[in-house]
Structure 1
Amino acid sequence: MNLAWKEMKKNKVRFLILGGIIFLISLLTFMISGLANGLSQDNASLIKDLPSGYFYMDEDAEETFNLSRIDSSVQEKWLDKQKDGVGLSIQMGFLNDENNKQQSVAFVTSTPSTLFPDVQAGEILLDRSMEAKGVKVGDILTNHQFQGEFVVKGFVDQKKFSHAPVAFIHIDNYKEIYRVKEMQLMFFPGMEQAEKKAGLQAFTNKQFLQTIPSYNAEQLSLIMIIWFLVVISGMLFAIFFYMMNVQKLGLFGILKAIGLKTSDLFKMMWTQMLMITVLALGLAVIISQGFNQIAPKGMPFYLTIEHTTLLSIVFILIGFMGATLSGIQIKKVEPLQAIQQGEV
């Protein structure tokens, strides 16, 4: 520990440069991770907030939920059998506000269930983001495919689907708008294993998210960037310590000659890596969490302490691996041979 600290003070510029680079990469990773989580919430918080269970849709829909139609008799049979189950439908649409301005929403309706709000015919519950667009409780909203009017009864927090605010409406109103009689989906919470249901295909919550248009492509691209940055950080550690170790082969030879073990040299390198990484990550965590608190409401940014901690642990492990790989030549160095290279 003492030896590692003395070397860091002697070569402070080198270690500051490495720490600065790790800080910038980790901060960028945290910010992109927050953006990925925020977009995920903005795209599918309606589904992500549901308890674990299984979704069922028509097999003929080929994993496209908005093409799914579940026969009413089949739905009734399974919902009678499993009382906590719910039939639901989700469809993109539009509402006209009192200024006749069109607002994009995701209409959601369901059979009676504690998982979704109870909405009466002619009423509508909206995601709270609609308040920012000037919609208020008591406003009258219309839809070109609906003969009646919707009265805004209230707002719900964090209910989005496909980047659109959710609008909960009564099942009869939904059927009138979309000219359908059947529901698209059934959801059964708490099921540990999917039951086979003839003509229906089962999906876990995570699998169902992949059926949402753009969700998989959006998340995959951001996750790839995150892991690419993590790998880059590991390579930086490997390159940095490799170059440092090459320059210090003679010093390592002297230290080995006076009795210092190879394991002690590795511990010195690991201590330096840990000190740099912890300091850089600590600063990056403070800034990213601060931004999480002050991010504009309309910006899809969501970064939890748990997710930040997980990424920090990954950074430390990658740094440990990179530093360890760079130290292979420490194990191979022979004291006499290293001293003869003339490096002090």
Structure 2
Amino acid sequence: MKIAWKEMKKSKAKFLILGSIIFLVSFLTFIISGLANGLSQDNAALIKDLPAGQFYLDEDANQTYNLSKIDEDVQKKTLADNPDATAFSIQMGFVNDAEDKQHSVAFVTSTDSDLFQNVREGEIILDRTLEDEGIKVGDVLTNNQFSGEFVVKGFVDQQKYSHAPVAFIQMKNYQEIYRVMEMQAIFIPGKDAPTISGVESFSNKEFLNAIPSYSAEQMSLNMIVWFLVIISGMLFAIFFYMMNVQKIGLYGILKAIGMKTLSLFRMIWYQMIVITVVALALSIALSQGFSIVAPEGMPFHLTLDTVFMLSGVFLVVGFIGATISGFQIKKIEPLQAIQQGEM
């Protein structure tokens, strides 16, 4: 370890360049991961906040939520057999405030349940982001497809769907707006959900993929994150490979005086860990700071679990890259390496 540390102090510029690159890559990875999680919450917080369970869609909907219509008889029987179950529907729409300003919302209605907000006819409960747009409790809202008016009864936090604030309304009001009697889905909390004929079941994660644009959006961002992680591993491999080529003579001398190949690998691993830990510490600190100074409208959500997971992945990838670069050390013959270093 002393040799590794002395080399790092002697070649500060080389290791500083590698550390700076790893810092930039890891910082960019944390930022993109935070944006991916933020967009995920902004796209489907309504569904993600539900407990683990099973969702049921019409078999003829081709695993597409918007096309699903649950048969009324199936719904009644399922709700009767499962007291914790609820049927719900979600559709994009809009409401107009007193100044006739239009606000995009995702209308949500459900049967009586503790999982969703329960409202009476003519009442509406909104996501709190609409409060920031000037809507207050007691305001009267309208909709062009609704003959009556909605009175704002309250606000809820972090209830988004398809990047729009959720608006909870009563079932009869929903049916009047969209001219449909069937509900779109049934949800039964718990792991031991029953099999129901005529409908197809989905886990929470599978149901999220049935939401338009959700899977495509998350897949694109996650691909960028993992691509950056792979790049960091390649950087380690290339950097240490070039360093090892330059130090063939040194390795030959160390082997000649009895140092084992494993000890040389440990020297490389030690240097990799020091560089990675310092770079990750800086990138974690800055990414957490970014979450504080990020613009208010930016959907940025970086949890500590995500940070620790990605940090562990960076360390593993760095270890693999450094190890691959060190395979050439095993082939070094002391006398030949010394002669090559003298040329």
Q: Which residue pairs with 1:212 in the alignment?
A: 211
Report matched runs for 1:67-216 at 5 Å. Answer: 67-192=67-192, 194-216=193-215
**Equivalent residue, structure 2, for 1:318:** 317
**Is structure 2 residue 271 aligned with structure 1 residue 267?**
no
Question: What is the match of residue 251 of structure 1?
Answer: 250
Instruction: Tell me the CA shift for residue 22 of structure 1.
Output: 0.2
Whole-angstrom CA distance in 1 between matches of 2:222 and 2:300: 15
Which runs of no fewer than 5 residues in structure 2 stay unpaired?
none
SS in 2 for 1:270: helix
Contact 1:247–1:343 (CA<8 Å) still a contact in 2? no
Greater Cα shift, 19-28 or 205-214:
205-214
Amino acid at match of 1:129: T
For residue 343 of structure 1, report the CA deviation from its aligned partner.
4.4
Give the percent of matched residue pairs that are identical in Structure 1 and Structure 2: 67
Asked if the contact 2:248–2:341 (Cα under 8 Å) also holds between the matched residues in 1, the reply is no
Note if contact 1:142-1:150 (Cα within 8 Å) is conserved in structure 2: yes
CA distance in 2, matches of 1:342, 1:204: 62
C-alpha separation between the residues in 2 aligned to 1:172 and 1:277?
A: 58
Matches within 5 A, 1:6-25: 6-25=6-25
Structure 2 residue identity aligned to 1:275: V
1:269-288 correspondence runs (5 A): 269-288=268-287
Q: Which amino acid aligns with 1:323?
A: A
Would you say how many aligned residue pairs link Structure 1 and Structure 2?
Answer: 343
Residue pair 1:249, 1:338 contacting (<8 A) in 2 also: yes
Superposition misfits of 4+ residues, deviation over 6 angstroms? none
Give, in whole Å, the separation in 1 of the partners of 2:97 and 2:2.
Answer: 69
- How well do the aligned residues superpose, as a CA RMSD in angstroms? 1.0
2:56 matched to 1:56? yes
Distance 1:283 1:160 in 2: 33
Give 1:283's aligned amino acid: L
TM-score (norm 2): 0.98
| 1:3-35 CA distance string (max 9 Å, x none) | 111000000000000000000000000000000
CA contact (8 A) 2:94 2:102 kept: yes
State the match for 2:332 in structure 1: 333
2:341 aligned counterpart, secondary structure: coil
Q: Given the superposition, is the C-alpha separation of residues 343 and 321 from structure 1 closer, same or farther in structure 2, using an over 3 Å criterion? A: farther
TM-fit CA distance, 1:190: 0.7
Would you say the 8 A contact 1:57–1:202 is kept in 2?
yes
Which runs of no fewer than 5 residues in structure 1 stay unpaired? none
Assess if the C-alpha contact under 8 Å between 1:123 and 1:152 holds in 2.
yes
The CA distance in 1 between the partners of 2:19 and 2:102, in whole Å, is: 51
1:234 maps to 233
